[in-house]
Amino acid sequence: MDKLNAKLLIIDDDEDVLLAAKLFLKQHIKVVHTDNDPNNIPMLLKNNNYDMVLLDMNFSRDATSGKEGFYWLNKIIEMDPTIAVLLITAYGDIELAVQGIQEGATNFMLKPWDNKKLKATICATLEAQRSKKELQDLRSKQKFLMEQGDQPYSHIIGESQGMLSVLNTVQKVAVTDANVLILGENGTGKEVIARALHRASERKDEVFISVDLGAISETLFESELFGYKKGAFTDAREDRAGRFEAANKGTIFLDEIGNLSQPLQSKLLSVLENRKVVRLGSVKEIPIDVRLVCATNMPLYQMVEQGTFRQDLLYRINTVEITLPPLRERTEDIPPLVNHFLEIYSKKYKMPNKRLHTSTLKRLEKHHWPGNIRELQHAVERAVIMSDSNVLQPHDFFLSQEKEKTGKGVTADATNLEATEKMLIRKVIDKHGGNISKAAKELGITRASLYRRIEKYEL
């Protein structure tokens, strides 16, 4: 049997106890150190990275009160707050053990102990301590990332009237706990807006969980979103929390919500109404406290009329609605967006800073951009990689001429957007030799979305 990858230190003035504990635990734990003198604790902690300390509460100078044990408990916590401390006492003094836990110990054991119980307690304590540390690390990383942006919307690039209106709505609704529905074409930045809502909310110090519903199959929906108990199905080898539990106290972002079948819509609606989830294989209801943000590029209101999307679910998710304008309707944002991506990819690929020729910018502004900002981003990245010049020309972007504007606010293909999309999808799929994953990535959509379009256009 594989040993637990952990490093333990046992401190006890009874040599027989140390020997018995080490002989047993080294069969199950990767590294076990022992010492009979607590005065060596500072040196041992300084020179080793322990996961747990098993600390006797009573030493020879003070055999029953536990005062010396409390002194060393506080010393250990002061030196390394991440170490799990398991208290050991020979006197069955529960009050002493409880006081120790109140002062920062993780768990306790009574001497003489049963070996199986000792092993189980150590394993459970280590698991709890590691989960706690992972949560602390996650919160620290999240706090660091949020501190990188001085302003709530500094990562959002846009000075057009349409985007200013969107940001104004975001600013108003972010401080509330209202459910938000973000509408817009693929690639318009729906997740960026969802994250902006989270960063400006009172939940900003908690987690943001993003779920691509278009990429989750019907059979995995419940286990992914609501979790499962060990043995709930063939591969359920351990208990696992779902996305809703993981997002507790924070924000959950359900992208491509328009792709849900009606049975899954019903299950989701039940959770949103009751604010409780039940893991697969369990009957226990788990309360959840989440801020809900949803997004889709599909016409939900039309789908409600057609009977393919539940009206009560639509009402539940769209307390506030935000519609993102497509890039072709905010062309004044193209120059700052291009400059932003040029800076990113020049640094990423360790190239001199590249800039656009005047004619190139005009060409980009005339392009229809069916893939919106995501398509623009990929086009800039490709141009940075492929061009040998520091001044990017129109031909560096491989843009189709038929998508140029022909009049005020109108494009040559505006009357037949489906034909344009069909042509673009066929072109990208051919380019990648039928590789759907690569084609979907270049188009800025999920594999599931691309398969739906292939079926729609009979490609």
pLDDT-derived band at 412, boundaries 50, 70, 90? very low
pLDDT reported for residue 129: 77
pLDDT exceeds cutoff 80 at 79: yes
CA–CA gap between residue 270 and residue 281 (Å, rounded): 18
pLDDT exceeds cutoff 60 at 331: yes
Helix, strand, or coil here: 17? helix
pLDDT exceeds cutoff 50 at 413: no
CA–CA gap between residue 28 and residue 6 (Å, rounded): 10
Lowest mean pLDDT among 1-10, 408-417, 449-458: 408-417
pLDDT reported for residue 35: 93
Q: Which of 18-32, 144-158, 388-402 is the most confident on average?
A: 18-32
Q: What is the DSSP letter of 213?
A: G
CA–CA gap between residue 224 and residue 263 (Å, rounded): 16
pLDDT reported for residue 93: 66
CA–CA gap between residue 162 and residue 455 (Å, rounded): 33
Across 352-372, b (16+ Cβ under 10 Å) vs e yields eebebeeebbebbbbbbbbbb
In Å, how far from its chain's centre is CA 37?
Answer: 45
Domain edges within the chain: 4-133, 169-323, 327-456
Mean pLDDT calculated for residue range 45-74: 78
Lowest mean pLDDT among 116-120, 266-270, 329-333: 116-120
CA–CA gap between residue 82 and residue 130 (Å, rounded): 9
pLDDT reported for residue 150: 40
Q: In 154-233, at which residue ranges do the beta strands (DSSP E only) sit? A: 180-183, 208-212, 227-228
What is the per-residue pLDDT across 174-190, written as a single tens digit (0 to 9) for each?
999 999 999 999 999 99
Q: What is the CA radius of gyration of the chain?
A: 29
CA–CA gap between residue 270 and residue 262 (Å, rounded): 12
pLDDT exceeds cutoff 60 at 375: yes
* The CATH number of domain 4-133, selected from 2.40.50.140, 3.40.50.2300, 3.40.50.300, 1.10.3080.10: 3.40.50.2300
pLDDT exceeds cutoff 80 at 134: no
pLDDT-derived band at 8, boundaries 50, 70, 90? very high
Q: In 172-237, at which residue ranges do the beta strands (DSSP E only) sit? A: 180-183, 208-212, 227-228
Listed residue (130, 126, 109) closest to 118, CA to CA: 109
Among residues of the chain, what percentage have pLDDT more than 70? 88
Q: Evaluate whether 4-133 and 327-456 have a shared fold.
A: no
Mean pLDDT calculated for residue range 184-206: 93
pLDDT reported for residue 415: 40
* Domain 169-323: assigned CATH number: 3.40.50.300
Tokens for 253?
A: 């972002």
pLDDT reported for residue 185: 94
Torsion angle, alpha carbons of 240, 246, 252, 253, to 10: -50
pLDDT exceeds cutoff 70 at 59: no
pLDDT exceeds cutoff 50 at 406: no
What is the architecture of the domain spanning 327-456? Orthogonal Bundle (1.10)
Pairing of strands 180-183, 240-241: unpaired
pTM for the model stands at: 0.59
> Is 52 in contact with 21 (CB distance < 8 Å)?
no
> Is 209 in contact with 251 (CB distance < 8 Å)?
yes
Contacts of 215 (CB under 8 A, 6+ apart): 256, 446, 447, 448
Mean pLDDT calculated for residue range 160-164: 92
Lowest mean pLDDT among 87-96, 97-106, 146-155: 146-155
